[in-house]
Amino acid sequence: MKSKDNTKKSTLYGVAMRLSALSYEQGKISSSRNFKAAAIALDKYGFGQKTLSEIGSANMEKLQNAMCTHGLSANTSASYMRKLRRAYRVAVAEGLVPDNRPFDSVSTTNSETVKRALLPEHMTRIRLLPLEDNPRLEYARDLFLFLYYCQGMSFVDMAHLKKENICRDSLTYRRQKTGQLIYTHLSPQAKAIITHYSDPKSPYLLPIISNQDDPTVGRRQYETAHRCLNRRLKVIGTMANLDIPLTTYVARHTWASIAHAKDIAISVISASLGHTSERTTRIYLAALDHSSIELAALTVANAI
């Protein structure tokens, strides 16, 4: 058990920042950022200097209200609260503070987000946009289509693909997020994008990362490319008259939604997306597609 003096000096901010640094050392970059962002929010709204013994349910309620009042979304607030709760539990496990359960009265669960899947006609509209005079937008559009053609691949996985991942007409790789092995058939459309953009001097399949010797440099290249791509995709979405912001993740949602609409088996969709269970895929699809509910509402309404 830690001394009372240490208990009084320890802050939730300090524990969260320590976990951020530890996550970074372990290569868990996203987790590191989330811990740091949660700690910064804690400090920004006046709770960073409070000791662990002062972190109670009333203060956490005030923190969440302050975040929402100042424009953070409910899901962002919930995400920060989950990281702070994790930091608090670590402090409890280390004997820095007794478990006073300060997070029981705040929201740590994400609410359902706006549907982010496109219809086939939307994808066709994007594919046919005349972008030949704007190579940067054309490149962004083609990378977005590649993600879709490759079973809703995530951007981080696409960025790290190497030529050695290809064998004839198939592409096999491990997901950066989970390490799960994924297999996809390379369609003629996907192969055409590879042929057009692949650098013969690079081991990478697409020109997103160029430095394979220094992981830190490679990570910065990936992050910069991702931000840049999403900015350009929003421009493309506006040009295509879409009613949702276009991002790389929309390609994943769209592939899953269209596959489901084409009556592809849940087990196949689950394996293609790299989900660890079909239950995850069913929840994922339920959040994407409200067409059955809409059809039921219209059918009943038209029955009288």
Residue 149 pLDDT: 94
Give the residues of the chain that fall short of pLDDT 70.
1-9, 110-115, 211-212, 276, 280, 283-304
Residue 304 pLDDT: 43
Query: Can you read off the two tokens belonging to residue 77?
Result: 């607030």
Strands of the chain (E only): list them: 166-167, 170-174, 181-185
Residue 292 contacts residue 260 (beta carbons within 8 Å): no
Residue 287 pLDDT: 59
Residue 284 pLDDT: 62
Residues 71-85: pLDDT tens digits? 777 878 888 999 999
DSSP state of 213: S
- Of 249, 260, 251, 250, nearest to 283 by C-alpha is 260
Q: The whole model's pTM is what?
A: 0.67
Residue 6 pLDDT: 46
Residues 218-252: pLDDT tens digits? 778 888 999 999 999 999 999 999 988 899 989 98
Residue 8 pLDDT: 46
- Of 278, 272, 239, nearest to 258 by C-alpha is 272
- Four-residue CA torsion sign, 17, 227, 195, 179: positive
> What kind of architecture, by CATH, is found in domain 120-298?
Orthogonal Bundle (1.10)
Query: Can you read off the two tokens belonging to residue 45?
Result: 């709204």
Q: How far apart are CA 294 and CA 292, in angstroms?
A: 5
